[in-house]
Amino acid sequence: MFSVLKSIIFKTMVLGIAMSMAAMIHQTSALPNDPRKEELAQLETTKKCIDIRARRIVQAELYCGLGLLAAQTVGFMRLTFWELSWDVMEPICFFVTSLHFLLGYYFFLRTSTEPSFEGFYQQRFNTKQKKLMESHGFDFLRYTELNSLFTPLACKSEVSTV
């Protein structure tokens, strides 16, 4: 009696697994004239426009930061050599440098990203990209799903050199 129930349950489970596997294969198989390819192409075009716009915004922010640092340096030079003396400006420069260090450390604590120029750029780019995707109604999960479906996986047979 137990073996009969066991075989029925086993067959039911195998049939259920086979049906779900068939549904998954059908869902993920890419046909040559699959309409999802066109949807992916539209999403890629939209994402490329969003990336270009985010990159321009971040570069403008970084150039403004460069301008502010250059103005600060010129102002400190003016104060040090014409208005005041190094004895007065040394503690001011020390505290401003300490403030810059504290801002970098705060950036690290908040984002868990290395406080370098590249880390700051990537963090700002990702933030702007996310905001632009939300404002344009870009479905990133759908894009990732379609991209993984139609992009072939990298060959795993290559041996990496360490």
Angstrom distance (rounded) from CA 127 to CA 134: 11
Count of all residues that appear for the chain in the document = 162
Return the domain boundaries, the chain. 35-144
Residue 22 CA to residue 102 CA, distance in Å, equals: 56
What is the overall mean pLDDT for the chain? 82
- Do 118 and 124 contact (CB within 8 A), yes or no? no
Which one, of 69, 70, 47, 67, lies nearest residue 129 by Cα? 47
What is the reported pLDDT for 156? 43
Q: Give the pLDDT confidence score for residue 2 in this predicted structure.
A: 55
How many other CB atoms are there within 10 angstroms of residue 162's CB atom?
Answer: 3
Q: What is the pLDDT of residue 76?
A: 92
End-to-end CA distance of the chain: 58
Under 8 Å CB-to-CB from 64, ≥6 apart: which residues?
none
What average pLDDT score do residues 31-51 get? 84
Radius of gyration of the chain (CA): 28
Q: Output the pLDDT for position 98.
A: 96
The pLDDT, as a whole number, for residue 54 is: 95
Q: Is the pLDDT of residue 108 over 70?
A: yes
pLDDT class for 151, splitting at 50, 70, 90?
confident
What pLDDT score was predicted for residue 139? 87
Mean pLDDT of 86-102: 93
Extract the tokens encoding 13: 């489970």
**pLDDT tops 50 at residue 49:** yes
